[in-house]
Structure 1
Amino acid sequence: MTTRRSAASVNGQRAAHGDISVSVVNDALLQLTLTSAPAGPVDLGTDITYTWQLANTGLRAVSGVTLSGAPQVYIIAPIPQQNPGQRGVLKTGQVFPAGTLYTTSALGTAPLSASWSSTAPSPLTLATRVAFPVGGSLAAGATSSAIDMIVTVPNGIDASVQMDEIGDAFGTNFVGGSITDQSGDVASNNGDGNADFNEGYVAGAGHGVIQQTPLKKLGSVLVGPSGAPAAVGPTDNNDDYTNKAVNTGIAGREPGQGTDAAGTIVYTNTIQNTGNTSDTFTIDAPTVPAGFLVEVSTNGGTSYTTVSGGGSTTLAIAFASSANILVRITEPLGKTVLTGYDTIIRAASVATPAANNKTIDRLYTGFVRLDKAFSVANGTGVGAATDPVPNAVITYTITYTNVSTSNGDANCVKLTASNVVITEDGLAGTNNWGTYTTNSGAPSDSGSGSAVIVNATKYTDTIASLAAGASAVFTFKRSIN
């Protein structure tokens, strides 16, 4: 602009005068640009290329600042990171401009106050920022060459949290004042001088804008017995199981008969989020025995949702976390005793619907079977070899069997019968052998049971533990009077 002095007299005197012209021009103006590729979502374990470019949009040159050695105009880039979460890793083998510097100083340290070295730290995971020189000065209207920085996204991180990046540019203006700009907006000389990821995601005066790259979310899930979602069944981790047995409707019922009362059992299953992101899981029961009612609680039993008949419920589970569900199964009366009934519980990822896993909650209508048999040995010389004549010996055998499944790994929940007592009383119920026979020898057990004579007409066999699938024989003998 041009300023002129008035020619009018002052205090009655006329002064000599002339014209004074002053030109006002923009000083140096930094504008830092950041682009990245791919745009995302990016797979974990793969690379993101961040490209930096610095322009001087002012009318005077930008001079450098001193970090280490001669003054330079710098682009300072923190290593991209999640917020909250982990930092990426500089890819090895990159070629950066001559004079590139590295620091391991914490991000809370202002860039111009950090300790810088021309030698990359070992390992590279220690690097917190990289300083790229663009020259001792940057002329008015000039733009630096593009500088690529390749960063590897770590594996094993929560993909629901994006990778953040923002950078700073530093220089001095014509009158020696420090100037800085941050990436992410179109304003020049707009930065807080410390790109430490607290600048936010919305443009504003005094700071740039954090640029985000989304990560690819891959759902994965395991569901299994309580505390063992990775349990493996006879085939794989889709047929692991939890075995339980009702104690209602089975008393006095013989093999092949039906239960005479309904029964209900509550199972605990554990769902583990094995995907790379926080996820929600759909829980249903694709296989339910006829007539059974299956309900699922995701809140510790406060409420239940019916999933038999095609119903489902959902449960949100954070990244790398697990949660328990309760499965309440009601068996109607009339079901065959000593039988296992399978309900399949399935958990499916919402993030990746094809990712699902199954477990079996198996309900047994009793699981210890007794089969009694006898044989006659006649060595008296009177009658045939198996004729029940006086002094012939009757051998009674009671085969006891835990009919529940025993296959699958140790994490499958199996049924073990404890403190089983088999009583044979020759005077009880419809038995009459106590009246017409006499004990012959000591009773025995082919397994671990302890068979004893209680009195002249009564025996017991006590089995401390009967594992799934195990079987043994309790034997006693009687001589016919």
Structure 2
Amino acid sequence: MTPAGTAINNTATGTYVDPNTGETFNTTSNTVTATVAEVAGVAAVPSGIIDVNGGSVTTNDQLLFTFLVTNVGNEVSALHIPSTVTPVGANLGSAQVLNGVTLTAGVYVTEINGVILARPVILPANGNTNDATFINAINNAAGGNYTALNGGTPFNGSINANSGIKVIVPATVTATVAGNPVSVTLGDTGANNNNAGTQNQPDSGLEPPTLGGTDPISAASEIYTINFAGAPPANGVRESSAFQTVPLATQINSLALATILKTRIAYNANSAATFTDDTLTYRLDLRVESAAPTGSTGIVPAPLLGTSIRVDGASPVTKVLISDAIPTNTTIDLTALPPATVTINGVVWTRVYTAQPVATGPLAATQDWLTTAPTAGTTRIGYIADGPLAPGYTTALDPNGFRIQVVTTGLTAVSSAVTIANVAQVFGQSTAGSISPTNPLVYDESGDQNPNNFENGSPSIPPITTTNTSPSGVADPNTDGTDSNNGGNNNQGTGPGGEDNVFTINPPGSILNGPQGQAGAIGPNGTNQTDFANKSAPIAAGLKTGDPVNPAAVTFTNTVQNPSSNTSQLDNVTLEPISATLAAAATGTAIANYDLSNLPLTNAPLPEGTTVLIAYGNRAALYTLTSGEFVLTSSSPATVSVSGTTVTITPGANETTPAPIIIPTVAIGQSLDYYVQVDLPGGAAGAVVTKGYSVPIVAYVNSNTTDGSTFKTTGTQLGQDNPFNIEINRVYTGYLDLVKLSRVLQGTGPALSVPADGTFSNTSKTPAPGNIIEYLLSYTNISTPASGSGNVVLNANNIVITEDGAVAPNNWATTTLNVPSTARVDQDGTQPTPNTVPTYNAVITFFTGATATTTTDPTVTRYLDSIPTLTPGQTGYFKFQRQVK
């Protein structure tokens, strides 16, 4: 056992990449991760009844009662599942053939540990998953073919934690009286009515069963856990049961549930003053849900079948259709489309087009989809595939999904904001045959997370029973509503039907100043006075939030432009930094409502002594923040060298009289790059301050000779020159923030000596041997989120977070053991029971020293949490548990 008083230290480290520059940054936490003691657990739930011939349940119908039995413990376990049951109102077995296997009397396994078997495998007579004959049948190529389907790793009789077995109980209906039950009970626990008393109960022989009158321990009629290896679980053997019933002459509500998602993944203004070359790129994704919508009743998820459409003028074919009407004021960019045929998750999708008027619905009798793009006038684009698509099918994990790019058109002169609105559709069916009142269309619109246009557990629009009533899919934000959460681009809208993805193109000013190549960038508040470029200083490994640091200077490349809509050249264009107060005053509410006047609430206050060096041509001007205002302190000749994304400014000898950077003339339509270097003073900040340092840079025509050459206030009045345009250069001292917390769980040790130790915090804990320390690490991209257009945001790419218990100051590798199967990235620690939070495709890998191992290995000494991308504002979590030796 670990000696009393031993300090168990835990610090996480990480690296990440700025995709804008390719630079790699370091980040360090305080403390956080997770672990739990081995306990057994089993849950059994009904997962639907399939009537093989459809319609109502009648005498002699063949039914398939499906169940999911899950290992809800935290370690692998074998399970016992009854190999025979006695249905009510039916006989066990059928003549149904599934993947070459006739489902005669018995209980059949169709999926284990997430692996869908090639063929159903009947449970052995003893009902044990660790039975040698059963294991062989599961792995055998002529049986379940598990080994090949699982990448060469065979089934060994155990069920992984949080995984399970899907089983089918085939039955042939014998009931003859309408309304009489046809039912199956799998297992024998408590009242066998699916209530809490039937789930994960101790197999103690004490709970009142309904089948046998007494409760024998580990009876053949029960579902129970079997210890697979090592010492028995601390809570012994657990049991569960599940029950399903359907009255005779009742139709089962098997419903395909389709969710279509639409995300705008890119916008490019191209020429800022030209309004017919802006491009917007969208990604479409489809989910076929495997669970009924929250709040719904009586729905059993079914495969998504195709519906009737015409393709290339031929007779109607049956296809699942994804449709997207080209937004008003845009045309499809055919040159930017990916391959016309893509395979996603085993399903072949073919792109289709139509030039029919958008008022002609996607399923209208006169609609004709084409596999070859029209030479002009495309009004819709879509993708088609053969059904059925099984519940659980998704394109969301594919790197690309379905991508569509459009180009603005007809906007020859924008004097006010122009809205580009778009909504996607998906069409299919639950049951083959013509659309009718008894076989309505499966239909969903993008903008939310609900399938089939459900809202609060029920359909939000009337059933579509004829193709003539299928919606056109033409976006109208005034009637559709918008996907308004977080800028309207994450499918989090609410309300009937779908919600439009809306993007606004704003008019530029008479002088434009923005990030490199994006002088007309639009900021978070919809104006070009709040656009920004974000960048981080490099931070040495080992520095954490609050540690003093003297960050290296950060250099930005900006662009100033005389828009082609102007009628004359711009003279004496001056570039200089201004204070947050002056920036807010100059633009009224434009910046005040954004962030600069709210210091230090949303930005770190710029420390006294911050310097800003602006370079253009062969000169540079240096400003120093003094008493909250930037003061021109020197100017000099300078050389600028650019290598890739690295810019080096080398000032020469100081000029006798400091002078700002003034560009004598900017011709109509001309764009010019200049450079800004921000240098925070030593000790100004920690490695991560969770806020950015904002420096407003103004470009203005210096026409006000009474206030000299600076853009400033005169007395109490603002004396700025016009026209002007502000861009914000924002510096971060690292932008991936790691925060670690811990708590103590009892595990197999004694009760907690300090009750507060059971709550997540960053305070010291006092665990005893056998107790479990659960660590929780949050990782947050604290930079300014994407908004507007043309801004430079800081995605954190190629994140690798290292939890290494063998590298000082950590010592938890030698003082604790990994609690199997508890490392996870889908919990944030705020809920008493497991909750789901976004994982951002994080992948955990496990090592003992330098040797790769698995989550079930108690000797794990190092965890790597790899996250492809974390965008600004996103937070991920990594939990793991360690049991004190």
**Normalized against structure 2, the TM-score is what?**
0.28
Measured after TM superposition, the shift of residue 414 of structure 1 is: 0.7
Map of 1:460 onto structure 2 = 864
Map of 1:225 onto structure 2 = 515
Map of 1:279 onto structure 2 = 570
One-letter amino acid matched to 1:224: G
Map of 2:631 onto structure 1 = 310
1:293-308 alignment, distance < 5 Å = 293-299=611-617, 302-308=618-624
CA distance in 2, matches of 1:351, 1:319: 18
Map of 1:255 onto structure 2 = 545
CA distance in 1, matches of 2:771, 2:815: 12
Contact persistence 1:258–1:335 (CA under 8 A): yes
Map of 2:882 onto structure 1 = 478
1:34-53 alignment, distance < 5 Å = none
2:741 matched to 1:377? no
CA distance in 2, matches of 1:476, 1:313: 55
Map of 2:124 onto structure 1 = none
Q: SS state of the match for residue 684, structure 2?
A: coil
Q: SS state of the match for residue 445, structure 1?
A: coil
Q: SS state of the match for residue 376, structure 1?
A: strand
Contact persistence 1:267–1:326 (CA under 8 A): yes
One-letter amino acid matched to 2:877: V
Measured after TM superposition, the shift of residue 390 of structure 1 is: 2.9
Q: SS state of the match for residue 304, structure 1?
A: strand
One-letter amino acid matched to 2:787: G
Contact persistence 1:262–1:330 (CA under 8 A): yes
Answer with 279-288 or 413-422: which moved more.
Answer: 279-288
Q: SS state of the match for residue 813, structure 2?
A: helix
Q: SS state of the match for residue 254, structure 1?
A: coil
Map of 1:267 onto structure 2 = 556
Map of 1:67 onto structure 2 = none
Map of 1:435 onto structure 2 = 814
Measured after TM superposition, the shift of residue 434 of structure 1 is: 1.2
Map of 1:344 onto structure 2 = 696
Contact persistence 1:405–1:468 (CA under 8 A): yes
One-letter amino acid matched to 1:272: Q
Structure 2 segments unaligned to the other structure (5+ residues):
1-411, 414-508, 581-605, 625-629, 633-659, 705-720, 759-765, 827-838, 849-859
One-letter amino acid matched to 1:361: N
Map of 1:449 onto structure 2 = 842
- Greater share of residues in helix: 2
One-letter amino acid matched to 2:554: I
2:785 matched to 1:406? yes
Measured after TM superposition, the shift of residue 351 of structure 1 is: 5.8
Higher RCO (CA 8 Å, separation ≥ 6 residues)? 2
Q: SS state of the match for residue 553, structure 2?
A: strand
1:94-243 alignment, distance < 5 Å = 220-235=510-525, 236-243=527-534
One-letter amino acid matched to 1:331: L
CA distance in 2, matches of 1:381, 1:372: 24
CA distance in 2, matches of 1:226, 1:375: 47
Residues 373-425 of structure 1, C-alpha deviations (whole Å, 9 max, x = no match) = 11111143732374723332221111111111114323111111111211111
Map of 1:324 onto structure 2 = 673
**Normalized against structure 1, the TM-score is what?**
0.51
- The count of aligned residue pairs is 261
One-letter amino acid matched to 1:403: I
Give the direction of change, closer, same or farther, for the CA distance of 1:303–1:454 in structure 2 (3 Å limit).
farther
CA distance in 2, matches of 1:310, 1:410: 31
Residues 113-156 of structure 1, C-alpha deviations (whole Å, 9 max, x = no match) = xxxxxxxxxxxxxxxxxxxxxxxxxxxxxxxxxxxxxxxxxx99
CA distance in 2, matches of 1:369, 1:360: 22
Measured after TM superposition, the shift of residue 276 of structure 1 is: 2.1
Contact persistence 2:619–2:661 (CA under 8 A): no
Residue identity over aligned pairs, in percent, reads: 30
CA distance in 2, matches of 1:303, 1:405: 31
Map of 1:360 onto structure 2 = 728
Map of 2:256 onto structure 1 = none
CA distance in 1, matches of 2:876, 2:728: 28
Measured after TM superposition, the shift of residue 473 of structure 1 is: 0.5
Measured after TM superposition, the shift of residue 252 of structure 1 is: 2.2
Residues 97-124 of structure 1, C-alpha deviations (whole Å, 9 max, x = no match) = xxxxxxxxxxxxxxxxxxxxxxxxxxxx
Structure 1 segments unaligned to the other structure (5+ residues):
1-154, 157-218
One-letter amino acid matched to 2:697: I
Q: SS state of the match for residue 419, structure 1?
A: strand
Map of 1:41 onto structure 2 = none
Map of 1:333 onto structure 2 = 682
Q: SS state of the match for residue 310, structure 1?
A: strand
Contact persistence 1:372–1:399 (CA under 8 A): yes
Contact persistence 1:335–1:365 (CA under 8 A): no
Map of 2:84 onto structure 1 = none
C-alpha RMSD over aligned residues:
2.3
Measured after TM superposition, the shift of residue 258 of structure 1 is: 2.3
Residues 29-80 of structure 1, C-alpha deviations (whole Å, 9 max, x = no match) = xxxxxxxxxxxxxxxxxxxxxxxxxxxxxxxxxxxxxxxxxxxxxxxxxxxx
Contact persistence 2:749–2:768 (CA under 8 A): no
From 774, 782, 788, the equivalent of 1:395 is 774
Contact persistence 2:749–2:769 (CA under 8 A): no
CA distance in 2, matches of 1:381, 1:343: 55
One-letter amino acid matched to 1:264: A
One-letter amino acid matched to 1:306: L
Give the direction of change, closer, same or farther, for the CA distance of 1:307–1:278 in structure 2 (3 Å limit).
farther
CA distance in 2, matches of 1:361, 1:349: 20
Contact persistence 2:749–2:771 (CA under 8 A): no
